[in-house]
Amino acid sequence: MKIIVLAGGLCPERDVSLVSGAGICRTLLEKGHDVFLMDVFMGFPYDPNRLEEVFALPGHGLEIVDRIHTEAPDLAAVKASRPDQSNCFLGPNVIELCRMADMTFLGLHGGEGENGKLQATFDLLGIRYTGPDSLGCAIAMDKGITKHIFQENGVSTPKGVCIHKNKHKKSLDDLGLSLPVVVKPCSGGSSIGVYITHTQEEYDSALAASFKQEDEVVIEEYIKGREFACGILDGNALPPIEIIPKTGFFDYANKYQAGATEEICPANISEEISERMKALAVRAFHVLKLNVYSRADFLLDEEGRLYCLEVNTLPGMTEASLLPKEAKAAGIEYGDLCEWIIKKSLEERYAGERTESL
């Protein structure tokens, strides 16, 4: 197949996305596909009359990948480095090359790549892409909407509310909450901008910092507990994985720096808890109108209560990421997982269309 892997973009998870995209690109090349990795924002300036050559270029686009740094990237600097200085999210030749491909593999995380807008654009343009549809992505990306849907559909989640920066009542008493609380962006990812606050001063500071990033934030009760994730493939849960940061919680630095976190898969929990977690992950997947694949994040408190925090519609796809590790525990190797995602995406949306098969 001819495959474009889209990564990068203009969101705090840009570096993570590029590394995910590189892993996807390399393994699909090993599987015999014609693959090219492209930064969705930077695009790939090339002679428009010779775009077919791109799929056979020796570097396969991998030269754009560096590494995941300790801190989120400077997006203003990224934007300023684009040669054409355009504000368009889609860089040069992105649409043209994605149209030429048999499939566009979305290696994007967060931002415009995961909030449903890109998926809706591709739907209108007739571009085939991997992962959940635009509706599910839009719903799951908004943590306030997700929390409301969970509360209405029996998916246990921490008590909390979503507030707008122009809302006058921001005191915890008015919100029906008490310290400690978690303050986090409504539509962020990779735990960027997440604050655990224990004092009024910390709470006020976290609100101010969060509202610099987004107009809406989620305030929720702090649950002390063990951290887990549970991947879902086509409505079927994978073995849960436990995440044990050496310090603090599973924030941006702990997620992506080597040696910062211990991960155990399958998780060292009872079969009863494992089955409850998997059932909750599958229920969350369905009530959020998702398909193909995703990953749900959980907390398990000392009393054995489970809380679903959110569902990631385009979870990390480096070989060291949580979902591939869970898939491997279920007997699915990384390259086979990437091909499965393509196959299932084709079945979900494009079964009646002619395309080169895997």
Just list the catalytic residues. 13, 190, 321
CA nearest to 250, candidates 322, 147, 163, 161: 322
Q: Is 323 helix (H, G, I), strand (E, B) or coil?
A: helix
Q: Find the largest Cα–Cα distance for the chain.
A: 64
DSSP sequence for 39-52: ETTT-----GGGGG
- What is the chain's percent helix, strand, coil content, to nearest 5? 40, 20, 40
DSSP sequence for 149-172: HHHHTT-----EEEEETT-S--SH
The answer to the question of whether 312 is labelled as a binding residue is yes
Measured CA to CA, the distance from residue 160 to residue 176 in angstroms comes to: 9
User: Which regions of 75-128 does DSSP assign to beta strands (E)?
Assistant: 103-106
CA nearest to 104, candidates 177, 24, 27: 24
Distance in Å from the first CA to the final CA of the chain: 7
Q: In angstroms, what CA-CA distances link 326 with 75, 111, 270, 275, 313?
A: 31, 25, 17, 15, 16
Measured CA to CA, the distance from residue 155 to residue 145 in angstroms comes to: 13
Residues annotated within the binding site are 297, 310, 312
Residues annotated within the binding site for Mg(2+) are 297, 310, 312
